[in-house]
């Protein structure tokens, strides 16, 4: 396994925090990527190498992987971080936006994985860290399509972990809870854009927007992106990395609550939280 770490989506949030954290480790060569590499000048100043990479563009993905392999022989660690949350009800959300979200959150992740695995197999090892979400283990209303993309990341990670193990490739899934990045603002913006102000889901959408705003402002329920970066570092450096790293106490509590309560009771709990829709 080489020391080359390729991270997708480092222009902000979790990706940026991860690149900064890993760049401080002298044994690692960190490749920070984004659609606009000029936005990564501070990461270059911190010691990361910068590459253009759009996970919805085949040529861009191939060229990024080839650049790392030309310098190191293979990608040692792939951190599939690029992703975003687009919110709206199942009925009202346009499927064109849903397809784009899946291109970024699921198919981009899958294609990057396909591109690095041959090199990892030749090198006799590697690590793949997929950034999922607690939203891949439970669902809130007005977020069905986003949650579906993260459920897909769960499934891909579980399959890949077994498939890649014989080749020395270890796979970990990071499941953050609410993280104080631009994610919440993006989700609220897409929710407002997808909703019909006087439509049948108007009350639900209003309640969902209020819940997001309150939750992301709460320091008890949310955490800074550096907390996720620490979990990613552990997944990369541990001799025996965990299959899953759940980030934030609130996320751990919600995941266990959903598992223990079952669908009927958890649905009742969610309806209480979104009572404005009743």
Examine the residue annotation and report whether 146 is marked as an active-site residue of this protein.
yes
The C-alpha atoms of residue 82 and residue 111 are separated, in whole angstroms, by 12
Residue in this structure with the two tokens 């498939």, named with its chain if needed: 163
Torsion of CA 213, 188, 35, 22, to 10 degrees: 20
Cβ atoms of residues 167 and 120 within 8 Å: yes
Identify any residues that bridge with 222 across adjacent strands, giving them in sequence order.
178
Cα 206 to the chain's mean position, in Å?
25
Q: Point out the catalytic residue in the list 31, 145, 146, 245.
A: 146
List CB contacts of 218: < 8 A, sequence separation 6 or more: 178
Name the nearest CA neighbour of 210 among 222, 183, 192, 198.
192
State whether residue 105 is helix, strand or coil.
Answer: helix
Record the tokens describing residue 212, joined without a space: 């997001």
Cβ atoms of residues 204 and 141 within 8 Å: yes
- The one-character DSSP state at 238 is -
The C-alpha atoms of residue 138 and residue 258 are separated, in whole angstroms, by 7
Name the nearest CA neighbour of 108 among 65, 45, 76.
65
- CA dihedral over 148, 263, 129, 30, signed as positive or negative: positive
Residues annotated as part of the active site: 146
């Amino acid at each position: 396994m080489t020391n080359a770490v390729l991270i997708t989506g480092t222009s902000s949030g979790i990706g940026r925090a991860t690149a900064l954290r890993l760049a401080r480790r002298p044994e690692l060569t960190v490749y920070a990527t984004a659609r606009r590499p000029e936005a990564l000048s501070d990461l270059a100043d911190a010691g990361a190498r910068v590459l253009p990479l759009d996970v919805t563009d085949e040529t861009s993905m191939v060229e990024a992987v080839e650049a790392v392999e030309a310098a190191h022989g293979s990608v040692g660690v792939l951190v599939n971080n690029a992703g975003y949350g687009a919110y709206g009800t199942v009925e009202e959300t346009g499927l064109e936006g849903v397809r784009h979200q899946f291109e970024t959150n699921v198919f981009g992740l899958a294609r990057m994985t396909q591109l690095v695995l041959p090199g990892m197999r030749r090198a006799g090892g590697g690590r793949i860290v997929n950034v999922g979400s607690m939203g891949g283990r439970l669902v809130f209303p007005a977020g069905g399509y986003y949650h579906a993309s993260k459920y897909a990341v769960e499934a891909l990670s579980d399959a890949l972990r077994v498939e890649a193990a014989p080749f020395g490739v270890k796979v970990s899934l990071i499941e953050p809870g609410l993280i104080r990045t631009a994610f919440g603002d993006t989700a609220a913006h897409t929710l407002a854009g997808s909703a019909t102000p006087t439509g049948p889901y108007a009350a639900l959408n209003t309640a969902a927007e209020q819940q997001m705003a309150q939750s992301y402002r709460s320091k008890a329920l949310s955490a800074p992106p550096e907390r996720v970066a620490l979990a990613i570092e552990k997944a990369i450096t541990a001799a025996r990395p965990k299959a899953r790293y759940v980030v934030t106490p609130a996320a751990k509590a919600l995941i266990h609550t959903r598992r223990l309560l079952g669908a009927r009771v958890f649905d009742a709990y969610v309806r209480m939280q979104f009572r404005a829709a009743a």
